[in-house]
Every structure is written in structure tokens, then in C-alpha cells.
């Protein structure tokens, strides 16, 4: 996760903010123990501080910093399962303070919603609004190790016939994680999001359809593969998970419809079809017992321990982090925020993560080079933004 601040934050204030979040969140003290397939969490009292490094941002691009951090793999058995890189406003030791925070988490302990919550809580602490927040306790299912009933089901089998137009035989160690970012202003985003509400189309369904429309021009073979979607299961956990508790509570779902490879389908009709599939999958997952959600958290742990995966059963994943409010109140606010959870693209062609931050839409496209070149993913990003602008113009004329 990368967060750019709208002002320079003193280094000591950043360290204190990070320490406050670390104090509250038990998952930030976790590591994995055991061996496959019997991994379990250990909450290690030795992790008493935040591991922080710095980089001079006056001569470094955000995308380069993000890519380097993604390629620096965490040791899941020794821990900690997260680290922080702070971008400084100039070279040390003369830098005036921090302008960027890049936090790398093992996906077994943090999902996308938790990543944004982490950034919000750090800002609250930096701005002196922590109050008397008590630490969270370890969630009961996690302190007892793995559920013996949890099978190692990595992903559902996709429909036959689709393939990605890249070679799977690129060694995992030679894959480099790349990120391309985009920012769509609230005028354009607002028109499209309002039409989503009017059409009763889910926002992540629209963006799935829009990305598919871009892929129809660049990599049409990928349309024959399903899309990996996700939704937040916090409210149905037992007990329910508070919004500021950090953990792994997102549920994956496999989205596919036999008509998707048809490239001439109108984007809104495609979005309605995707929306129906999402609703069906959510309903199916919500009907399952709560204990199975706990089992799937452990499956996520085992997946993280088993990387690299080499299946590529999905064309891409789309994650909608929804509206995120980072209201400035004190020392600092956010200028932009981007999230990646690609794991060097273990099971998909690329990942798109969307978040509406104070009105603007922030989009991060993450992919593994040389599996998918920057030029190809740039075409997908540009196709999405062009479609957004065209739709906004159409809606404005109605």
C-alpha cells in the first residue's frame, strides 16, 4: 500500500503514529509456524517495534518504489509479516520530513480494506486523534491454530477454453512486479457512479465490465477466463469485525458468464450481467455457515505460505475498496492512496484496485513483467480512463 501525504510530516510524528497502530492490532505481531499444510499463527511478543526504512523521494518515482517493495519478499516464518518504507522530502539527513508511506503486508494478515484502515488510523494518530483506543484482542479462532476441517482448496476450477496470451514458464524469481496508477477526477467519476446507482449496477461490476471492454481490444483471449472478485465479510463474522480491526476478512469469488467473451456487448449491459453474477455469488457465500469463513481465512494463510502459484486461472481481479474518507484534521491529510495485493500475480493476469478518496477515483493496475508488458497494461489503463470520460460526457448530455 502506498499513501502520499498532502504535506510534510515530521519523522517523529510518523513513528509515533505507526507505533500507536502497532500497539492496537494483534495481527501486526503475527508470524506463521508449522509446515504445509498445517500452518498456524503465532503472536510473537518479540515484535516490539516497527521496522522502518527510508528513501529519498526527490529523485525517485512512486511506481519504482512500490515495485521494489513488492519484490522484497517477507519471511513468513521469522516475521514480522509487515514493514514500512517512508519516503522523505529530500536526502538524509537534511530531509524536512515524510511525504510518502509504503507499507508491505503479508496477505495472510491484512486484506485490502484493512490496508486502507491502517492508513486512516496512522493519520488519526499523527493528527493526535487517538483518544483512549484500546488494543484489540486476538480473535478466538486464530489463537487455536488451524481448523482440522479446512481443506487446501486454492481456487475454483475455471471454465475451459480461455488462456492468457503470455508464457507461463517465466521463472517466478524473474518476474518483476510493476504498478501503473491512474487518478480520475471526481467530476468524471461522479457522473459514472451516479449512473451505477440509477441502473442498480454494482460499482465493481461496472469496472469489471469496463476493463473487459478494454481487454476486448488488447487481449481478447483473456475474456474467456473468469474474473476474481471479492467482498467484505466483516459484518457476518461471529462476533462481527469492527471496521478498524486489521485482519483477513475479504472473501474471494469467481465471476464468469458465458456471454462475456462477446466483445460487442454494450458496457452497461455487460455491467448488468456482471452485477447479477456478483449478487448470486454473494448470496451463495452468505448462506454458508460462519465457521466456513474461518476455515477460508486459514486457506488464505496456506495460500500465502505456498507461493509461488503458477496456475493463472483468472483473467484479472478487480477490488473495489469503496469510498474512503481521509478528512484533514490537524497536521496531515492524504493526497493519494494506492493498493496492491498481487503476490507477483500468482493466479491472474493483473489486478485492478479502485478506491474513491475524497471524491477522486484512484486506480492501481498491478502486473508481473515479463508476463504482461507495461505497454499492454498501459493500453488497458488508458482504455478504462477513455471509456470513463466518454461515459461521463454521454451522461452529462442526457
pLDDT tens string 167-221: 667 777 777 777 787 778 888 888 888 888 888 998 889 999 999 988 888 778 7
> What is the pLDDT at residue 149?
41
**pLDDT single digits (tens) 248-272:** 888 888 888 888 887 778 889 999 9
Average pLDDT over residues 105-116: 85
| Superfamily of segment(s) 2-143 | Chloramphenicol acetyltransferase-like domain (3.30.559.10)
Specify the range with the lowest mean pLDDT, choosing from 42-51, 123-132, 150-159.
150-159
Average pLDDT over residues 68-73: 79
> What is the pLDDT at residue 86?
94
Specify the range with the lowest mean pLDDT, choosing from 143-152, 210-219, 313-322, 385-394.
143-152
CB 180 within 8 A of CB 365: yes
Q: pLDDT > 70: what percent of the chain?
A: 78
**pLDDT single digits (tens) 80-94:** 889 999 999 887 666
> What is the band of 384 on the pLDDT scale with cuts at 50, 70, 90?
confident
> What is the band of 151 on the pLDDT scale with cuts at 50, 70, 90?
very low
Q: Which helix (H) or strand (E) holds 232?
A: strand 227-232
User: What residues form DSSP beta bridges with 54?
Assistant: 86
> What is the pLDDT at residue 295?
64
> What is the band of 160 on the pLDDT scale with cuts at 50, 70, 90?
very low
Per DSSP, the three-state class of 257 is coil
Instruction: Note whether 2-143 and 172-397 share their fold.
Output: yes
CB 116 within 8 A of CB 337: yes
Q: Which helix (H) or strand (E) holds 128?
A: none
Distances (CA, A) of 169 to 73, 162, 174, 367, 373: 21, 17, 10, 16, 15
Cα gap 330→225, rounded to integer Å: 47
CATH of 172-397, picked from 3.30.70.1350, 3.20.20.70, 3.30.559.30, 2.60.120.10, is: 3.30.559.30
Distances (CA, A) of 378 to 179, 189, 215, 350: 10, 20, 11, 12
> What is the pLDDT at residue 334?
81
Domain boundaries, the chain: 2-143, 172-397
Amino acid at each position: 500500500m502506498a499513501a502520499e501525504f498532502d504535506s510534510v510530516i515530521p519523522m517523529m510524528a510518523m513513528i509515533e503514529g505507526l507505533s500507536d497502530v502497532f500497539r492496537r492490532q494483534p495481527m501486526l505481531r503475527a508470524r506463521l509456524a508449522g509446515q504445509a499444510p498445517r500452518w498456524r499463527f503465532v503472536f510473537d511478543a518479540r515484535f516490539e517495534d516497527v521496522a522502518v526504512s527510508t528513501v529519498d523521494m526527490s529523485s525517485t518515482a512512486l511506481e519504482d518504489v512500490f515495485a521494489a517493495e513488492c519484490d522484497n519478499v517477507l519471511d513468513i516464518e521469522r516475521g514480522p509479516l509487515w514493514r514500512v518504507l517512508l519516503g522523505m522530502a529530500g536526502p538524509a539527513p537534511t530531509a524536512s520530513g515524510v511525504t510518502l508511506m509504503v507499507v508491505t503486508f503479508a496477505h495472510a494478515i491484512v486484506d485490502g480494506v484493512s490496508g486502507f484502515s491502517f492508513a486512516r488510523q496512522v493519520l488519526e494518530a499523527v493528527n493526535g486523534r487517538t483518544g483512549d483506543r484500546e488494543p484489540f484482542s486476538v480473535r478466538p479462532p486464530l489463537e487455536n491454530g488451524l481448523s482440522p476441517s479446512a481443506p487446501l482448496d486454492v481456487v475454483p476450477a475455471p471454465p475451459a477454453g480461455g488462456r492468457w496470451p503470455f508464457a507461463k514458464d517465466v521463472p517466478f524469481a524473474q518476474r518483476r512486479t510493476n504498478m501503473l496508477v491512474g487518478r480520475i477526477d471526481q467530476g468524471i467519476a461522479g457522473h459514472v457512479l451516479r449512473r451505477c446507482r440509477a441502473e442498480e449496477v454494482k460499482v465493481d461490476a461496472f469496472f469489471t465490465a469496463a476493463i473487459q471492454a478494454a481487454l476486448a481490444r488488447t487481449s481478447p483471449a483473456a475474456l474467456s477466463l473468469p474474473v476474481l472478485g471479492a467482498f467484505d465479510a466483516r459484518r457476518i463474522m461471529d462476533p462481527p469485525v469492527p471496521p478498524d480491526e486489521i485482519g483477513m476478512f475479504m472473501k474471494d469469488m469467481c465471476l464468469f458468464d458465458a456471454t462475456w467473451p462477446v466483445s460487442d456487448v454494450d458496457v452497461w449491459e455487460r455491467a448488468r450481467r456482471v452485477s447479477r453474477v456478483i449478487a448470486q455469488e454473494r448470496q451463495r457465500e452468505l448462506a454458508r455457515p460462519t465457521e466456513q469463513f474461518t476455515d477460508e481465512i486459514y486457506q488464505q494463510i496456506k495460500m500465502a505460505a505456498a507461493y509461488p502459484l503458477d496456475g493463472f486461472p483468472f483473467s484479472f481481479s478487480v477490488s473495489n475498496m469503496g469510498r474512503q474518507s481521509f478528512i484533514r484534521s490537524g497536521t496531515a491529510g492524504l493526497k493519494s492512496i494506492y493498493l496492491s495485493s498481487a503476490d507477483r500475480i500468482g493466479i491472474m493476469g493483473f489486478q485492478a484496485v479502485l478506491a474513491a478518496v475524497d471524491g477522486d477515483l484512484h486506480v492501481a493496475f498491478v502486473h508481473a513483467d515479463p508476463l504482461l508488458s507495461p505497454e499492454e497494461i498501459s493500453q488497458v489503463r488508458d482504455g478504462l480512463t477513455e471509456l470513463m470520460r466518454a461515459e461521463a460526457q454521454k451522461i452529462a448530455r442526457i
